[in-house]
Amino acid sequence: MPSFLSPPASPNSFARRLRQGWHGRVLSLLASRRVDVLLLLVAVVWGSSYLAAKTLTDTVGVTVILSLRFLITTAALVVIALIWNRRKAGLRESAIGVVLGLTQAAVLILETHGIAGTSATNAGLIISLVVVFTPVAESIAFRVKLPRMVLGAGVIAVVGVCLLVSEDGLATPTPGDTLMLASAIVRAVHVTAVSGLTRGRAYSPLTLTLVQSAVCAVVYTAADHTGVLAAIRTFHPTQWLGVFYLGLACSVFAFLVQTWAIQQTSASRASLLMGTEPIWAVLIGLTIGQDTLALLGLLGAALIITGTYLGLRAETRHRNQQEPTLPGASHAPSLPARKSILRWGTGSRFRGASFSWSLFRNPSIRRALGRRG
């Protein structure tokens, strides 16, 4: 039958085709941008972790939360290691994992106590300073020149922190804000230690992450084993949901997504997507967490986000310019490659620090991930 003789489509069928077309376009866009979507989802998860931790610290002790969280993370990583990892850890590798696990335990106890003493919004913004602190720590430790833009970005971010904690006028930071700042500094030192201890060695990130997680679980459980046992008996479903969210979503999920994503995208694109974490922390804290910021606080938040973004861009550009030529290279992965391998999942989150992820296209580095090249 000619089309002009066909009965007109009913309004319902037209609306159905319109919805199907819209859904199809959305699904097509998500499929083509699945790497970006997943990396952005990791940033959202990390941004929400501050509110999740803040909610838990209002009802139970910090050490108990960290103990349960890392017991869950360790159990999940053991299962993944049994399925995925194809190599046995050496004695030196395990020993380094223990040392880094102890420094990581120190970072997280500072961070979680800081979250308990400040708002989720402030915590997410202040800890993002690790993006500018880490290049400074590396510059001092390895005697390398620091890009000027990183220094400028650091100044902008620090001014932002001063405004953020000042509320309606210049004031002394709260103990929680101070602990978050200390946590960012210690975390930068921890990341630099990871780089120094693993430089030039093809260690498995899964093995090191597992060892560090196990060390954290042992340390925190030993510190308050009676509180942990009491929590296991008395926790209600909402509290268990928060702990599992921190242990699985913020650590294991992020590890798995990044392990896959680094072989699919560029260093710059991944870094910028992950660097949106403080933005999500602010949005989630102000909306779901019902935090409030005065005018100076909002200005400080904007400066922190701007500073970390500029530092991220400058540090990524600097590292990309120093990437070695991979074809035929016989030497071990470079410093940025080693750090990007090992930083995943070692703590509460990766924090969006920018490293040369494109180096993972090298088969030798992919084997370092516990996979066949």
In 3D space, the residue among 70, 56, 50, 67 whose CA is nearest the CA of residue 240 turns out to be: 56
C-alpha to C-alpha distance for 321 and 315, rounded to whole angstroms: 10
DSSP state of 59: T
C-alpha to C-alpha distance for 68 and 112, rounded to whole angstroms: 13
C-alpha to C-alpha distance for 312 and 321, rounded to whole angstroms: 14
pLDDT in the model for residue 243: 96
Cite the DSSP H helix spans in the chain. 11-32, 34-57, 62-84, 91-116, 120-127, 130-142, 148-164, 175-198, 205-223, 225-234, 237-244, 254-261, 267-274, 277-287, 295-321, 335-343, 363-368
Least reliable range by pLDDT among 130-144, 308-322, 325-339: 325-339
- Is the Cα torsion angle 100, 101, 107, 110 positive or negative in sign? negative
Encoding tokens for residue 350? 């990766």
Q: Report whether pLDDT(346) > 50.
A: no
Average pLDDT, the chain: 77
| 244-273 pLDDT per residue, tens | 999 999 989 988 887 777 667 765 677 677
| 197-229 pLDDT per residue, tens | 887 777 888 888 899 999 999 999 999 999 999
φ, ψ at 349 (rounded to 5°): -170, 175
Higher-confidence residue: 107 or 353? 107
- Residue with token string 């910028």: 272
What is residue 333's three-state secondary structure?
coil
- State percent of the chain over pLDDT 90: 31
Query: At residue 305, what is the residue type?
Result: I
Q: Report whether pLDDT(88) > 80.
A: no
What is the longest distance spanned by two Cα atoms in the chain? Answer: 81
pLDDT in the model for residue 154: 83
pLDDT in the model for residue 298: 87
Higher-confidence residue: 45 or 308? 45
C-alpha to C-alpha distance for 8 and 220, rounded to whole angstroms: 70
C-alpha to C-alpha distance for 146 and 139, rounded to whole angstroms: 6
Encoding tokens for residue 18? 């319109």
CA count, 13 A, side-chain hemisphere, 272: 9
Q: Write down the domain spans for the chain.
A: 37-321+333-368
Count of other CB atoms within 10 angstroms of residue 152: 15
Please give the average per-residue pLDDT across 39-45, as a whole number: 90
DSSP state of 104: H
Q: In the structure, what pLDDT confidence band is assigned to residue 168 with cuts at 50, 70 and 90?
A: low
pLDDT in the model for residue 267: 58
Q: Report whether pLDDT(193) > 70.
A: yes
Angle between helices 205-223 and 335-343 in degrees, nearest 10: 50
In 3D space, the residue among 210, 348, 196, 353 whose CA is nearest the CA of residue 274 turns out to be: 353
Whole-prediction pTM: 0.75
